[in-house]
Amino acid sequence: MRRSVLAIVALISVGCTPDTPSGSLSPLDFDPVDIRDEPLQSLPAVPYQAPELVHLGGLLFHDVRLSADNSLSCHSCHNIAQGGADGRVVSVGIDGALGSINAPTVLNSGLNIAQFWDGRAPTLEDQVNGPLTHPSEMGSSWDDVVAKLSIDPAMVGAFDRALDGPVTPANIRTAIAAYERTLQTPNSPFDQWLQGDDSALTTAEQRGYTRFKELGCVACHQGRNVGGNMYQTFGVLADYFADRGDITPADLGRFAVTGDESDRFRFRVPSLRNVELTAPYFHDGSAPNLPSAIAIMAHYQLGRPLAERDVDDIAAFLRSLTGTLPSTDEYLQ
């Protein structure tokens, strides 16, 4: 009896001891335990997916053959080391074509309720079609992409190993989505604090988080992705679009999907994880830095001016949401 208890204890402790140092475990392969009961939670483990499939998706994500003139990959506009976005007000597609909207990050996007600012793609698989065929993004067609990849024996072999099938649009979508689901950024100072490490946040960061809750930012930016789980109007307490002027189709938000008048100017609330890396901000790229984005949010979403110190503290808190970025070494050689 005693021996079997010991054996169980030994098994459990083996199971709990990673054979690599915990800092190198990225993305997480186990769910962290939050000691604190907060409206924000740590990022969960990445769901298990076959390594061959994830690798194929990573290759495709970095492959310029997905664009009409072999000039752009997904990574061109979603640079992982730069926070999964492109640092521009609006994206630049093939032939220098200017897009109409700011590129959101791909990091942690698998945790969002839907993809795109207006949520028009329900899944990551559905999302891939958009950039691939959009004339001012990759400007390609599925026939072209399948033809280009199918004459590459290395690609055909990778599809066969990962999906036991040929290069098809559905298989491309499956692989890219699988890779994107691994693009989580665990171990941010804020997550370490949630998990019980009191010293993980500075006092300014803790003050900023307290203000973030007191002011009501957390009513919209909440949960494990600090956003991404609901649609909200941009301009709840003041008319952002009237003040900015020059309304474009990209400003219509969810209305473009549902045609429902109450969805005009409603957007999927963006995740604030790694937000310090993805300026400029908002769907129109109008806020050049975090302090200006925070002040605009306070004014238009909460109807209150913020003291400079509050802005600084909240910015400090938002910077504590930067986690470990996924490595792209195996795809960028």
- How many CB atoms within 10 Å of residue 99? 20
The count of residues interacting with ligand HEC (CB under 6 A) is 53
Q: Which of 43, 80, 89, 215 binds ligand HEC (CB under 6 A)?
A: 215
For position 176 contacting ligand HEC by CB under 6 A, the verdict is yes
Minimum gap (Å) between residue 303 Cβ and ligand HEC: 10
Minimum gap (Å) between residue 317 Cβ and ligand HEC: 8
Spatial distance between the Cα atoms of 91 and 85, rounded to a whole number of angstroms: 9
CA distances from 311 to 1, 181, 207, 285, 315 (A): 60, 32, 11, 19, 6
Spatial distance between the Cα atoms of 122 and 139, rounded to a whole number of angstroms: 22
Closest CA to 80 of 103, 49, 53: 103
Spatial distance between the Cα atoms of 311 and 313, rounded to a whole number of angstroms: 6
Q: Which two tokens stand for residue 188?
A: 């941010």
Evaluate whether 324 touches 187 at the Cβ level (below 8 Å). Answer: yes
Closest CA to 302 of 252, 208, 210, 233: 233
CB-side neighbour CA atoms (13 Å) of 268: 24
Q: Which of 28, 111, 158, 269 binds ligand HEC (CB under 6 A)?
A: 269
User: What's the distance, CA 314 to chain centroid?
Assistant: 20
137: annotated active-site residue: yes
Amino acid at 126: D
| 65/195 with CB nearer ligand HEC | 65
**Footprint on residues 77-136 left by ligand HEC (CB under 6 A):** 77-78, 91, 93, 99, 101, 103-104, 106, 109, 112, 115-117, 124, 127-128, 131-132
For position 72 contacting ligand HEC by CB under 6 A, the verdict is yes
| 59/293 with CB nearer ligand HEC | 293
- Stretch of 35-43, 161-169, 190-198, 210-218 lying at the interface with ligand HEC (CB under 6 A): 210-218
Minimum gap (Å) between residue 236 Cβ and ligand HEC: 5
Q: Which two tokens stand for residue 299?
A: 């004014």
Spatial distance between the Cα atoms of 115 and 268, rounded to a whole number of angstroms: 8
For position 145 contacting ligand HEC by CB under 6 A, the verdict is no
Evaluate whether 124 touches 115 at the Cβ level (below 8 Å). Answer: yes
| 56/297 with CB nearer ligand HEC | 297
Minimum gap (Å) between residue 274 Cβ and ligand HEC: 9
Spatial distance between the Cα atoms of 32 and 114, rounded to a whole number of angstroms: 24
For position 229 contacting ligand HEC by CB under 6 A, the verdict is no
Q: Which of 59, 314, 316, 325 binds ligand HEC (CB under 6 A)?
A: 314
Minimum gap (Å) between residue 170 Cβ and ligand HEC: 14
Minimum gap (Å) between residue 264 Cβ and ligand HEC: 12
Region class of 265: left (phi > 0), else alpha (psi between -120 and 50), else beta: left
Minimum gap (Å) between residue 112 Cβ and ligand HEC: 5
Evaluate whether 330 touches 59 at the Cβ level (below 8 Å). Answer: no
For position 293 contacting ligand HEC by CB under 6 A, the verdict is yes
For position 174 contacting ligand HEC by CB under 6 A, the verdict is no
Positions marked active-site? 137
Given the rule CB under 6 A, which residues bind ligand HEC? 61, 66, 72, 74, 76-78, 91, 93, 99, 101, 103-104, 106, 109, 112, 115-117, 124, 127-128, 131-132, 137-138, 176, 180, 215-217, 219-221, 232, 234, 236, 267, 269-270, 272, 275, 278, 281-283, 293-294, 297-298, 301-302, 314
